[in-house]
Amino acid sequence: MFPEYRHLITELKNKDAHFTRLFNEHNELDDQITRLEKDPVTGSSAESEIHELKVKKLALKDELYVILKRAADEAEQ
């Protein structure tokens, strides 16, 4: 996620608790979605749950991007 901001992600994870929480929550949702999609028992029956998790994950990604973009712009000044 956001390879162009790899260095900035590391920096923010070390100094911004809010960013770290959002980043970790995004990764946890990604893991949860992957588990549900790969589980032959719940794969098709959990479609609505998977969709809901993907929507939450995308919202987190958008929020992370805003933080990264703001931090990158501040670093350039």
pLDDT at 40: 77
Instruction: State whether the Cα torsion 68-15-22-38 is positive or negative.
Output: positive
Q: What is the mean pLDDT of residues 13-29?
A: 98
pLDDT at 50: 92
pLDDT at 25: 99
Tens digit of each residue's pLDDT (9 = 90 or more) over 23-76: 999 999 999 999 998 887 776 678 889 999 999 999 999 999 999 999 999 988
pLDDT at 43: 62
Spans of all domains in the chain: 3-76
pLDDT at 41: 78
Residue 33 makes CB contacts below 8 A (sequence gap 6+) with: 50, 53, 54, 57
